[in-house]
Structure 1
Amino acid sequence: MCLWLTPDHLCQSILCSSLAATVPVQAVLFDIDGTLCDSDPLHHVAFQELLLEIGYNNGVPIDDEFFIKNIAGRSDVEAAQNLFPDWELEKGLKFLEDKEAKYRSLAKERLEPVKGLGKLVQWVKDHGYKRAAVTNAPRINAELMISLLGLSDFFQAVIVGGECEQPKPAPYPYLRAIKELEVSAEQTFIFEDSASGIRAGVAAGMPVVAVATRNPENSLLEAGASLLIKDYEDPKLWAALEEIDREEAKLKKASAWDEMTMNN
């Protein structure tokens, strides 16, 4: 167990235990944008430039608050409807396609992993857990980001919300991920950075670690995050992962004892 003395630390202990409840862990799932890489600023720049070209908002660039409220973590359909409520959906989606092409050109030059990602990836690999990327981004974007981050061989599946019955915040992308990996929700946990993604994971029955790269922390907690971390070097994360290690060691020890008892 994670043990602290203050009320805040006691609360954190409860959150750590929610991850340990997935022991024996079978799989770890990851969102991509904002979770594997701090890509929101690049999306923001791409939106700003293309929106300015069409005179959106009387030529005033969209700010961070507008981007977070109307675009970040949204599916293309939702973002198009938020941006252009008076447009035909097809026209809005064409704008989104152009924006994604602009984003990809920026990503090839400037995409960076979230701090500590390599350490977490190694932990997952060392434990032999199954893993999938689950995203609302178009597949071409998802596969590009995974490649740029050097994770093409890490993920065993890439699930795209637009290819599911409904994208996040509906649970279907995460439900498809555990189906493809042939694991249970009870033995899987998720890393996400948006309220939309967190709601999807919670609705799918899995605890979610919220990575507070850009979105307001209160919105992540309100969406149902089990643990809130700054990045993958956050001591709170490693306290939770160490608890998983301890609980799995206990299970192995108990299993070995049972086997020895049966053989005797």
Structure 2
Amino acid sequence: AAAGRRRSLPSPQSLRAILFDVDGTLCDSDPVHYQAFRDMLQEVGFQGGAPITREYFCGHISGKHNRDIGLLLFPDWDEAKRSKFFDDKEAYFRGLAAKDLKALPGLHKLCKWIKEKGLRRAAVSNAPKENVEFMISQVGLEGFFETVILGSDCARAKPFPDPYLKALDHFGITADNAFVFEDSPSGIKAGVAAGMAVVGLTTGNPEAALREAGATFLAKNYDDPAIWAALE
């Protein structure tokens, strides 16, 4: 997306909903996923047992749906074997994450603002249901989201727009009434393809890749003045 064509955030008058990705967006979970994938892939002898690099993780795994990651990493495995690998990996991830997963700075302040403004809110994630519920609970946002849309509940997961279109449909609004917080190129592409402005959070992925995917602007976390300037 050329910079000139990036959508700006809806005006305060037309803003009716804010949609959030979960992994890396509500909390800085990417380093934990990287560790879980690195350990588990070494265990199954992926790349001859050489650990995957951070670059490989960002380029091929981060933000993508497990179904798509499985086809990429294990094209020769059957569905049951791939499924078992991801069940084990996610359980390992939750064990690691339970110790130190925290909300991104400013998240609770923003959520309070969203409630005060009476805006609709949804979590839209490619992660498995157990992970999504676990992370929402870890960051203390149980009951905050009115709906949770999973990639696996849609015909196509992110980077396709289907999960975000489903959220807009759920609220009965158009892309001009909402915007998205995302942290991965895959998620940003999905939000942009659904016609929305997307704020890219720089929690784990290279800034150039987030811009390239079409982010309206980038922010470090929810305390970033750029976010508040755009909202107010």
Distance in 1, matches of 2:199 and 2:109, equals 16
Match of 1:75 in 2: 65
TM-score by length of 2: 0.93
Tell me the distance in 2 between the aligned counterparts of 1:85 and 1:23.
Answer: 49
More displaced stretch, 84-93 vs 151-160: 84-93
Runs of 4+ in 1 over 6 A off after TM superposition: none
Cα deviation, 1:196-251, whole Å, max 9, x if unaligned, reads 11111111111111101111111111111111111111111111111xxxxxxxxx
Partner deviation per Cα, 1:41-62 (whole Å, 9 max, x = no partner): 1111111222222222222221
Residues 174-195 of structure 1, C-alpha deviation per residue, up to 9 Å, x if partnerless? 1111122232221011100111
TM-aligned CA deviation for residue 90 of structure 1: 3.5
Write the mapping of 1:185-224 to structure 2, written as runs, cut at 5 A: 185-224=175-214
For 1:61 and 1:33, locate their aligned partners in 2 and report how far apart those are by CA, in whole Å: 22
Q: Distance in 1 between matches of 2:52 and 2:111?
A: 34
Partner of residue 125, structure 1: 115
Give the Cα–Cα distance (whole angstroms) in 2 for the partners of residues 219 and 101 of structure 1: 29
Alignment of 1:1-264 (within 5 A): 18-21=8-11, 23-242=13-232
Distance in 2 (CA, whole Å) between partners of 1:47 and 1:29 is 27
CA contact (8 A) 1:81 1:89 kept: no
Measured against aligned partners, the alpha-carbon deviations of 1:11-56 in whole angstroms (never above 9, x if no partner) come to: 89x97x8114473211000000010010011111111222222222
In structure 1, the gaps of 5 or more residues are: 1-10, 243-264
Counterpart secondary structure, 2:87? helix
Give the conservation status (yes or no) of the 8 Å contact 2:10–2:176. no
More displaced stretch, 89-98 vs 72-81:
89-98
User: Greater relative contact order (Cα 8 A, min sep 6): structure 1 or 2?
Assistant: 2
Q: Distance in 1 between matches of 2:56 and 2:229?
A: 35
Task: Specify the SS of the correspondent of 2:137.
Answer: helix
Structure 1 CA distance for aligned equivalents of residues 37 and 111 of structure 2: 30
* Residues in 2 aligned to 1:99 and 1:200: alpha-carbon distance in whole angstroms: 25
- Return the index of the structure with the highest Cα Rg: 1
Residues 112-156 of structure 1 deviation map (CA, whole Å, 9 limit, x = unaligned) = 111211121111111110000000001111011101111111100
For residue 72 of structure 2, give the secondary structure of its aligned residue in structure 1: helix
Uncovered stretches (5+) of structure 2, i.e. residues with no partner: none
Are the counterparts in 2 of residues 52 and 59 from structure 1 also a CA contact under 8 Å? yes
Alpha-carbon distance in structure 1 between the residues aligned to 2:74 and 2:17: 39
Higher helix proportion, which one?
A: 1
Overall identity of the aligned pairs, in %: 50
**Residue-pair matches, total:** 230
What TM-score, normalized by structure 1, do the two folds share? 0.82
Asked whether the 8 Å contact 1:77–1:89 carries over to 2, the reply is no
RMSD: 1.9
